[in-house]
Copies of this chain bind each other. A is one copy, B any other.
Amino acid sequence: MMISRRKEFAVSIAPDLVLGGEAILLMVGPCSVESYAQTRSVAEAVTRAGIRVLRGGAFKPRTSPHSFQGMGKEGLEILRDVADEFGLLVITEALAVAQIPLVAEYADIIQLGSRNMQHYPLLWAAGETKKPILLKRGFMSTVVEWLGAAEHIASRGNEQIILCERGIRTFETSSRNTLDTNSIALLKLLNHYPVIADPSHATGRADLVLPAARAAVAAGADGLLVEFHPEPEQALSDGRQSLPLTKLREFKDEVSHLAAAVGRSVI
């Protein structure tokens, strides 16, 4: 009854780093890149904690056109510069077909967001790059539709696909979304792509992020995408669900204990 891990389908992030193998991969950083200083302070903490992948958004999809929309290309440059200084890898989101070449140039993993899971032209454009693609589940999409979206990417030749469960929309309103651990476990049985979780969006509350991260790992997740910020209460977006950098080491330790119980390590 052990969770099977099929090494042959792991996604190669760097010459010495795979996602979908024995180790659970942490990808950590702020919702939005806000400045060089902010990004650098995150990168320092990430490096100290022995984590390899830095997350951060340069293009932000926002419900209202009047909210902060991200730093754009300048944000990508900051991410790349800081990551290179610390020897980190970068994951960041592309939200338009036209942004794919640019993001592919700066990022090690291209993220496609929940609202875009069925925007097929974007999936096709991502499928034409050679970069690993992190495909977030639509927050109201079934597992079958999610695998259909992955097929749209793969149909253009790119099978370096990582599925990311980020919570679904349900009638429950006490958390922003409902983390669907059943789907994580089901995908480990049904499909060969690695599956990770985003406990920050899946809960929308900083005090639920660690329990959700633990639950995802317990259900079989191969990685975690988590929002950490130097000063969550000052964040330009998603501050309510971000953990402070001062908690990063403790977070990794707690997840590592859980991972050990299912025979895995954490990077």
Contact = CB atoms under 8 A, between A and B. Distances in A.
Interface of A: 1, 3, 61-66, 95-98, 115-116, 118-122, 138-145, 148-149, 151-152, 155, 168-175, 177-186, 188-189, 202-203, 207-208, 210-212, 214-220, 247, 250-251, 254, 257-258, 260-262
The 8 lowest CB-CB distance pairs between A and B, nearest first, are A140-B140, A185-B211, A218-B218, A96-B121, A214-B218, A115-B118, A261-B261, A181-B215
Q: Decide if the interface of chain A is mainly helix, strand, loop or mixed.
A: helix
Contact of A65 (B61, B64, B155, B215): B155
A95 B118 CA distance: 10
Contacts of A174: 142-144, 182-183, 186
B247 A257 contact: no
B182 A175 contact: yes
Contact of A183 (B64, B139, B175): B175
Q: Indicate how many identical chains form the complex.
A: 4
Contacts of A218: 211, 214-215, 217-218, 258
Contacts of A144: 63, 174
Nearest to A3: B211
A247 B121 CA distance: 36
A61 B118 contact: yes
17 contacts: A1-B250, A1-B251, A61-B120, A65-B151, A65-B152, A65-B155, A95-B120, A96-B97, A138-B140, A168-B170, A169-B171, A172-B180, A178-B178, A215-B218, A218-B258, A257-B261, A258-B261
Given A119-B119, A174-B186, 6 more contacts: A62-B120, A63-B144, A96-B97, A170-B180, A179-B181, A179-B182
A95 B121 CA distance: 8
Contact of A186 (B64, B175, B214, B257): B175
Contacts of A188: 211
A99 to B, nearest CB: 8
Nearest to A251: B1
